[in-house]
Amino acid sequence: MFNKSLIEKLQTIETPFYYYDLELLKNTIAAVKAEADKYNFHIHYALKANANEQLLKIICKAGFGADCVSGNEVKAALKNNFNPSSIVFAGVGKTDKEITESLVSDIFCFNCESIEEIKVINDLASSLNKKARIALRINPNVNANTHHYITTGLEENKFGINFWELESVMDEIKNSSNIDLIGLHFHIGSQICDLEPFRLLCTRVNEIQHWFETRNISIAHLNVGGGLGVNYHEPDKNAVPDFKSYFEVFNKFLDIKKHQQVHFELGRSIVAQCGVLISKVLFIKKGKKTNFIILDAGMTELIRPALYQSYHKIENLTAEFLSFERDKVETNYDVAGPICESSDCFAKSYLLPESKRGDLIALRTTGAYGQVMSLEYNLRERAKAIYSDGI
Ligand SMILES: *Cc1c(COP(=O)(O)O)cnc(C)c1O
């Protein structure tokens, strides 16, 4: 991703900032498209991974739909030209205002997560004299084997409708004249690198479909969510995730009926690798046991390590590209930010070239759940962005 002349340019820009490699984003999008098109699968980009407008414009141009989890995400999708008929709206707690505005915008589908939500959508649609298309988000009770904070498809999670509730859900829908049930929706979690959970999901979806078939309820759309993982440890090795194998699993194991359309909601796998958080070393603190690198970026720019102990590869770009002799001496550092929280630490005991004040540091694979999760805590400025085509 980096070379000497790029590093020299980045050095002149005020840190911290996100750097986006748009070439890599475009290559990733092209790979998703090529593999999904083989099976006529529909892709909805999950805005919550990164709602940066420059990125949204590129993703929208590729013809993807949008997967939103708030009213403001629906608005951002519309503002950036996503077609309303390609917008799906999920979320366990949609407000009346968010539902009403989405009905007015005529989005494709609400992914519903409870009986009470279906009632409310029916009432609001009725008062607007509209029909709301909904999909039932069903909890498949599949363990995604990912971090417990980002697993969503187990009965103990707050998300989705459980299988044993389906009878009463269908009773509710029968009595809801402004609801049009068009699909089933699933999302088992995030950062799933092993494809086995997706195969298990297919098996569960087939069983659940059978339940509807035996009741003569036709389901036009299957939405299997997102969750494909990326390689955080070696970001340059598989910069474009293996979409081929991922879609193959669904094509092979999902029982797709002739009339059905299959939808995916990919977030992380599309944008994670194209983003890098660039920061400078403010100070080196030498302790008895630990040496600290204090960066000018912290959990306010990238909260993932503090929130769910996530790993991001750290590179000293100055030592690696501009000052070769230093690359030979490596030291263990705790790499921390400036925020007044002990959890504001990106990595403990991380092996890096000998580092100095002013060195440029890259936190890799931060295009997803990075900038979009940034905070103003400590009255910090919101993280800025620089694009590869603009420098
Ligand atoms: C977060 C989320 C996604 C995207 O997940 P990724 O792991 O980023 O692909 C898709 N669908 C729903 C409902 C989500 O909440």
Indicate whether residue 221 lines ligand 1 (CB < 6 A): no
Indicate whether residue 160 lines ligand 1 (CB < 6 A): no
Indicate whether residue 47 lines ligand 1 (CB < 6 A): no
* Range 23-271 has CATH code 3.20.20.10: yes
pLDDT at res. 146: 60
**pLDDT tens-digit map of 169-222:** 999 999 999 999 999 999 999 999 999 999 999 999 999 999 999 999 999 999
Domain boundaries, the chain: 4-17+274-390, 23-271
pLDDT at res. 147: 60
Indicate whether residue 139 lines ligand 1 (CB < 6 A): no
Indicate whether residue 226 lines ligand 1 (CB < 6 A): yes
Check residue 322 and report its DSSP letter. I
Give the pair of three-digit tokens for residue 166. Answer: 């389906």
> Are 364 and 237 spatial neighbours (Cβ–Cβ below 8 Å)?
no
Task: Give this prediction's pTM.
Answer: 0.96
- Ligand 1 center to residue 90 CA distance, Å? 10
Indicate whether residue 49 lines ligand 1 (CB < 6 A): yes
Indicate whether residue 265 lines ligand 1 (CB < 6 A): yes
- Ligand 1 center to residue 45 CA distance, Å? 9
Which is the closest atom of ligand 1 to the Cα of 111? Answer: 13
Rounded Cα gap, residues 62 and 65, in angstroms: 9
Vertex 249 angle, CA 243 and 252, to 5°: 130
pLDDT at res. 157: 74
- Ligand 1 center to residue 354 CA distance, Å? 38
pLDDT at res. 150: 57
List beta partners, residue 280: 360
Report CA 84 to chain centroid distance, whole Å: 20
Which fold is adopted by the domain 4-17+274-390? Lyase, Ornithine Decarboxylase; Chain A, domain 1 (2.40.37)
Indicate whether residue 312 lines ligand 1 (CB < 6 A): no
Binned average pLDDT, 10 residues per bin, the chain of 391 residues: 95 97 98 98 98 98 98 98 98 97 98 97 98 96 68 70 94 97 96 96 96 96 98 96 98 96 98 98 92 98 96 96 81 96 95 96 98 97 95 88
